[in-house]
Structure 1
Amino acid sequence: MPAVLKTLGAKAAADLDKDLMSDEGGYSIDQLMELAGLSVSQAIYKAHPPNSGKRILLACGPGNNGGDGLVAARHLYHLGYEPIVYYPRPVHKPIYDGLVKQLHGLHIKFDDRENFKAIAQDSDLIVDALFGFSFQPPVREPFDKAIEVMQSGVKPVLAVDTPSSWHVDDGPQDEGLGSKYQPDYLISLTAAKPNVKHYKGKRHFIGGRFLGKDVADKYGLSIPDYQGLDQIAEVPVDIKVEKL
């Protein structure tokens, strides 16, 4: 385990995605989303195994972070969970429409009631897949209500890549929405983001076992020590953080 966790800011993370999806990198957005969602499902299994409660509420936003949540819902179903999807602002593009059709084909429940707290109370764990590293404030309805509920601690939360409403570099706001938000679990995708220095939750995972050494070296990243079949690696919450 490295003594320092190297992190990527918003621009570097976006540049890395571009490199991966370039002609040289060879990946497509749906491949990366599939790998991310698989990693999220494994983090949930590690942090909250089915015997801890099978009802998983996945709060999915309108971007790629939400797509990761939709993919995770499918994998969770096959792992024996009972996923419920909150997806109030669907994006009608082929990749997202396809993911939704896959979930309907498995009879996975979608629940977009305005009262997010009522949906959350029916679940055992909430997955925060609302906003990723490219988020720009303010948080608009109905997502503000979802963040308020997750911040309240009504149920344990696993955040995908970055806690929603946090600035990718600076972390939570000093006051107002999200200022008290500390998810119980966090899975950083491909690499941790600088705001992880503000994370004080229980467990932190790095997900995405696909990054090659050449790309990692270009961005100054250390590839986590993945074990066996795992797509995730756990890192200490209190590890020293360095922004690249």
Structure 2
Amino acid sequence: MKQSLGRPLYLADQVRELDRRTVAAGMDGFALMQRAAMAAYDVLRARWPGVRRLSVLCGSGNNGGDGYVMAALAVCDGIDVQLIAVSDPAGLKGEAARARDMAEQAGVRIRHWHAGLTLDGEVAIDALLGTGLKGEVREPYVTAIETTNASGKPVLAVDIPSGLAADTGASLGHTVRADITVTFIADKFGLHTGAAPAHVGEHRLETLGVEAGAHADLVPAAWLMVESRIAEALPPRRRDSHKGHQGHVLVLGGAPGFGGAALLASEAAARLGAGKVSLATAREHVTASLVRCPEVMVHGVDSPGEIQALLAAADVIVIGPGLSQAPWGQRMLQAALKTAARLVVDADALNLLVTRWPDLRRDNWILTPHPGEAARLLNIAGSEVQRGRLAAVTQLQHERGGCVVLKGAGSLVAGPNRVGVCPFGNPGMASGGMGDALSGILGALLAQGLPLEIAAEVGMLLHAQAADAAAEAQGERGLLASDLASYARRLANPMES
């Protein structure tokens, strides 16, 4: 199956190594800095063509050096520049010192930062802290960042919004909220997950002529998934296809009093093309299922013995939506785990793995935790997951096998071969039932024969893009999980749309 892996994402040390190799190959370091500053300045002028005054905030390293060069370019372009040195410019070294000299020679007046200083520019340039930041942001950068955010000015971040961790996407206490971020040489993992979507704004990559892919020893940390994967994985069906060719999904969930989640998963599986969908749920939910989606073959069950035939007939089992951790849910999960079928495991099924099957590993399942569930699976705090999402999802995949989807802003999909990052989705997805819809989508893709890792990535793309389409049609606020199925169906037929 043809695969578009997408854009490679690297860690900060890898990008610094690319920078070092570029200089070692003959590129002057200051010339590379000038190239970066010019690329960012071109983006600035394209985004705000009428700007007449800039506030440029510069730190102590090469990130600050980029800012000094941008200030020089702006002055030479007839723009008034308020250049604010948050670190003592006399202490700059190497290329950053040369950039400071360039700015002064261009006639830029350097002003020292102090609390209470007002940003006079129509646009602010964030060149405070680069990708080398490891610990929490400290003064005077804390106040400078907070002043920038409170100014109401549009912000262009140079390489990375100051205060954002390049390797994790975590906010290191205080982080600039940029309208656009121009990053250099190669794309950084931390610009696409965790807190990043709230701070990066529009994302632009300027490679500066460096070919990261030519360095085979620098293996990307992850891949930014692309929309084209959907069409590659879901070509038009054969004209003689029938439902037996499209697989049978069994949704196992909906304990007494928790029927809605299983109904959402079942309908999503049906809408995404599974040939047959069965639902095994508490008896009290049967009528609601028949009314909601009569195409789903619903069975009211009380004990594992009643689902043996269903388990044997299923190609894929989706378990967890509305399962509960009570005895009914425990019995259903135990029965599902005894089968050889491929599984999608969500919600309380994940919580039961923690308490009842702490060491279980399978190579034919997709686990779909949100950060809280991932934390329980790893026996760490939820905040620790968010501070290191890549490490968390990689560890979970290593320990539990199969594929792991770590949900949240910039959802991650870890399989045995790579980690994918989903660049789609929106805050409207912060509502109940979204994970249940995702589970049904994943189950349908597996039933139609997609390999585990491809199903996980394509399912994540369909889920997030369906939410984006629904939000575009009627707004983010009030978006419901039940809105997604019809949009996801349309996206799952790319050749016909």
| TM-score bracket, shorter-length normalisation | 0.7 to 0.9
TM value normalised by structure 1: 0.77
Q: Check if 1:48 corresponds to 2:48.
A: yes
Residue of structure 1 equivalent to 2:20: 18
Corresponding position of 1:233: none
Q: Deviations over 1:96-119 (max 9, x none)?
A: 34332322222212222403541x
1:184 corresponds in structure 2 to 179
- Which contiguous aligned blocks of 4+ residues in structure 1 show a shift greater than 3 angstroms? 94-98, 212-222, 240-243
> Which residue does 1:62 correspond to in 2?
60
**Contact in 2 for aligned 1:194/1:242 (Cα 8 Å):** no
Partners in 1 of 2:201 and 2:124 — Cα distance?
A: 15
| Contact residue 84 and residue 111 of structure 1 kept, 8 A | yes
Residue of structure 2 equivalent to 1:207: 206
Task: Answer whether contact 2:76 2:106 (CA < 8 A) is retained.
Answer: no
Matches of residues 91-170 of structure 1 in structure 2 within 5 Å? 91-93=91-93, 95-115=95-115, 117-118=117-118, 120=119, 122-152=120-150, 154-170=152-168
- 1:129: how far off? 0.7
**Which consecutive unaligned segments of at least 5 residues does structure 2 have?**
224-409, 413-418, 422-497
Count of aligned pairs:
218
Larger Rg: 2
Residues 5-25 of structure 1 show CA distances to partners (whole Å, capped at 9, x for unaligned) of: 321111211221221122xx2
| 2:11 aligns with one of 5, 9, 12 | 9
Identity of aligned residues (%): 24
Q: C-alpha separation between the residues in 2 aligned to 1:14 and 1:108?
A: 29
The corresponding residue for 2:171 is 173
Aligned equivalents of 1:172, 1:148: Cα separation in 2 = 17
Aligned letter for 1:188? Answer: T
RMSD between aligned alpha carbons? 2.9
Deviations 1:120-165 (A, max 9, x none): 1x11111111111111223222111111122335211111111111
When residues 3 and 184 of structure 1 are mapped into structure 2, their CA distance, relative to the original with a 3 A threshold, is farther
Alignment of 1:212-223 (within 5 A): 212=211, 215=214, 219=218
Cα pair 1:39 1:207 within 8 Å, conserved: yes
Contact 2:9 2:186 (8 Å CA) reproduced: yes
SS in 1 for 2:15: helix
Aligned-partner SS, 2:203: strand
- SS of structure 2 residue aligned to 1:149: helix
Which structure has the higher relative contact order (CA within 8 Å, separation 6+)? 1
Q: Which amino acid aligns with 1:183?
A: A
Paired residue type of 1:32: L
1:227 is matched with which residue? none
User: More helix per residue: 1 or 2?
Assistant: 2
The residue aligned with 1:84 is 82
Q: Distance in 1 between matches of 2:76 and 2:98?
A: 18
Q: Secondary structure at the match of 1:73?
A: helix
Q: Which amino acid aligns with 2:9?
A: T
Once residues 213 and 165 of structure 1 are traced to their aligned partners in structure 2, the CA distance between those partners, rounded to angstroms, is 25
- Residue identity opposite 1:99 in structure 2: A
- 1:17-45 superposed Cα distances (whole Å, 9 cap, x missing partner): 221122xx212321221111111111111
